[in-house]
Amino acid sequence: MSTSNKRGSAELHALHVLYKENETHLDKCRKLGKEIHKLQRRLSMIEFSREQHSRERAFRAVHKNVPETIRRLLGEGLDPDIATDTGWTLLGIALSKGDSCVEMVQLLLDNGAVSGNGIIDLLFLAPAGNPLVQALIVEASTNLNVRNILTDDTPLIYAAKNKDLFMHDLLLKKGADPKMLDSSGRTAASYL
């Protein structure tokens, strides 16, 4: 075998060894990438599980009226406007509890819970008959003339239909429009 053939054969062998080493290195990188992906998925599942656990604790705390738990969860970054699959917010649940919910409602409002994002929160107030809670929500609301999409009622009309004079007067004082009509073409005053 000539010297050039030996050199060519040696170079070819060296290239083959480098190729195999690179192939082995690429296989290791692929395996490592798969492991990293698995770890990322597990971490994501753990974070989701932790967030889900916090949500469940928050809803239980509101149901049982335990403001200390809500205060701690809010301090850990809980969104005060979380909702159940059926649309119940923490604030909505607190409002449905009646007289015992004043501290919880105040805590949620102080931490950014939205009360003017829909009629549901305000509608709970009229039948609750809790003037302090009603005043807290009306004060925090940004739209006192929001309409219920099913009945076209405004909070003012709803209060009048339920003969809740305190809520009716409070909404008027805070700027609710008494001229708005419901789906029957009636104003709030026509129900009193």
| 66 pLDDT tier (thresholds 50, 70, 90) | very high
With contact defined as beta carbons under 8 Å apart, do 102 and 128 qualify? no
Instruction: Please state, in angstroms and rounded to a whole number, the distance separating the CA atoms of residues 69 and 45.
Output: 24
According to DSSP, the residues that pair with 89 across neighbouring strands are: 83
Domain 80-191 is classified in which CATH homologous superfamily? Ankyrin repeat-containing domain (1.25.40.20)
pLDDT tens, position by position, 7-27: 667 777 777 777 777 777 777
Instruction: Please state, in angstroms and rounded to a whole number, the distance separating the CA atoms of residues 123 and 128.
Output: 9
As to burial, measured by CB atoms within 10 angstroms (0-12 exposed, 13-18 middle, 19+ buried), residue 168 is: buried
**CA distances (Å), 91 to each of 7, 45, 53, 58, 138, in order?**
82, 28, 19, 11, 13
According to DSSP, the residues that pair with 83 across neighbouring strands are: 89
3, pLDDT greater than 70? no
Residue appearing with tokens 């609301």: 141
Q: pTM of this prediction?
A: 0.58
pLDDT tens, position by position, 112-163: 887 555 545 555 555 556 787 788 778 777 788 888 777 788 889 988 998 9
With contact defined as beta carbons under 8 Å apart, do 67 and 95 qualify? no
